[in-house]
């Protein structure tokens, strides 16, 4: 197999968009993470000096796949049964984001941590950790009951702000939580569990959701695969991935950084939302199984991507501006 094509495949496998240090922190020991953060990380773009041809082949393949998806999406929109199916599943997107946020909050309560195991409540809130845990449970209860939902969400946003103050490096990576919370806050109690909403009544909530997820991915790519690229290199070396993919580890990190950034930008600007979300879900699942990571911190990612897969395009997406007649399917 040509090395350029092989590099294209390894980029897709390795990028599996995990949150910040999420991917690296969950698969590396705390001491390994600490050492990697203290080391001077190489610039991934330095790998281009010896792998330029492979990079061009991979870039060409990604561009080709993007163009094919663009035209296929518009062509599929002409089939009435697909449009009808799209409208049916789109109605359930608000339910999915609320269930996702609910499940994520309950996981935080159960594991006594905020967002992930690297943020135990005691680390952020100290002696007030029990109160913070109670507030998280209270937020979840409001979502279950459908009562005082906005109050519960405001309390959660307050906890999120506290995490930004005391642990900004990790909290910024979990902006997807904030996006889901703001979406429910805007829609309020009308985000009824198991009660599909009218797509015509859905406003800017899904704009916020996809931008939040996209920003989380951009930040994770920049932090763990560019600013601290040694984290990703350590992950590659620990799992001996070069045995399967014969490339310079720094070159693999560059590919992961670029692909993850591209995914984030597609979500932010609203291009190929369903296709990107589907790929996200597939590789997120593969990554969790391969690296044997803790599953609960990724629930918010999986659920948010599934929500966007169901909802597709909103009226603020770049793709809808390009296709002014019909909503693209992918």
What local confidence, expressed as pLDDT, does residue 60 receive?
92
Question: Distance between CA 172 and CA 82 in Å, rounded?
Answer: 37
User: What is residue 230's DSSP assignment?
Assistant: H
What local confidence, expressed as pLDDT, does residue 19 receive?
37
Length reported for the chain: 330
Q: pTM for this structure?
A: 0.86
Residue that is written with structure tokens 């935080």 in the block: 108
What local confidence, expressed as pLDDT, does residue 122 receive?
92
User: Hey, what are 303's tokens?
Assistant: 């659920």
| Long-range contact set of residues 237-240: C-beta below 8 Å, sequence gap at least 24 | 238/27, 238/28, 238/32, 239/27, 239/291
Please answer whether residues 74 and 326 qualify as being in contact, where contact means their C-beta atoms are separated by less than 8 angstroms: yes
What local confidence, expressed as pLDDT, does residue 292 receive?
81
Please answer whether residues 140 and 106 qualify as being in contact, where contact means their C-beta atoms are separated by less than 8 angstroms: yes
What local confidence, expressed as pLDDT, does residue 23 receive?
53
Please answer whether residues 227 and 24 qualify as being in contact, where contact means their C-beta atoms are separated by less than 8 angstroms: no
What local confidence, expressed as pLDDT, does residue 277 receive?
93
Please answer whether residues 139 and 128 qualify as being in contact, where contact means their C-beta atoms are separated by less than 8 angstroms: no
Q: Give the contacts of 1 (CB within 8 A, at least 6 positions apart).
A: none
Summarize pLDDT for 251-276 with one digit per residue, the tens: 989 988 998 999 999 999 998 899 89
Question: Distance between CA 310 and CA 277 in Å, rounded?
Answer: 9
Low-confidence stretches of the chain (pLDDT beneath 50): 4-10, 12-22
Question: Distance between CA 153 and CA 33 in Å, rounded?
Answer: 33
Question: Distance between CA 36 and CA 228 in Å, rounded?
Answer: 8
What local confidence, expressed as pLDDT, does residue 189 receive?
59
What local confidence, expressed as pLDDT, does residue 324 receive?
60
What local confidence, expressed as pLDDT, does residue 130 receive?
95
What local confidence, expressed as pLDDT, does residue 14 receive?
46
């Amino acid at each position: 197999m040509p090395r350029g094509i092989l590099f294209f495949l390894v980029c897709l496998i390795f990028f599996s968009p995990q949150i910040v240090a999420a991917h690296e922190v969950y698969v590396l020991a705390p001491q390994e993470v600490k050492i990697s953060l203290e080391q001077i990380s190489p610039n991934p773009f330095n790998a281009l000096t010896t792998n330029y041809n492979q990079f061009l082949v991979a870039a060409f393949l990604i561009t080709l796949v993007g163009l094919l998806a663009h035209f296929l999406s518009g062509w599929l929109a002409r089939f009435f049964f697909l449009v009808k199916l799209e409208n049916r599943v789109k109605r359930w997107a608000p339910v999915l984001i609320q269930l996702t946020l609910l499940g994520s909050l309950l996981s935080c309560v159960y594991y006594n941590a905020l967002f992930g195991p690297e943020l135990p409540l005691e680390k952020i809130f100290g002696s007030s950790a029990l109160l913070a845990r109670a507030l998280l449970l209270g937020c979840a209860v409001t979502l279950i009951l459908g009562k005082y939902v906005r109050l519960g969400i405001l309390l959660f946003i307050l906890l999120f702000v506290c995490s930004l103050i005391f642990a900004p490096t990790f909290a910024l990576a979990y902006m997807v939580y904030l996006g889901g919370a703001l979406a429910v806050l805007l829609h309020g109690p009308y985000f009824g569990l198991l009660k599909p909403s009218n797509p015509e009544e859905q406003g800017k909530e899904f704009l916020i959701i996809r931008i939040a997820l996209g920003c989380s991915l951009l930040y994770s790519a920049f932090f763990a695969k560019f600013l601290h690229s040694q984290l990703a290199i350590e992950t590659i070396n620990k799992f001996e991935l070069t045995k399967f993919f014969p490339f310079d580890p720094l070159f693999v990190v560059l590919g992961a950084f670029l692909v993850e950034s591209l995914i984030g930008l597609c979500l932010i600007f609203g291009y190929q939302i369903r296709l990107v979300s589907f790929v996200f879900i597939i590789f997120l699942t593969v990554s969790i199984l391969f690296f044997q990571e803790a599953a609960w911190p990724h629930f918010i990612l999986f659920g948010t991507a599934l929500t966007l897969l169901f909802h597709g395009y909103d009226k603020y997406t770049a793709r809808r501006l390009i296709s002014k007649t019909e909503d693209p399917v992918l």
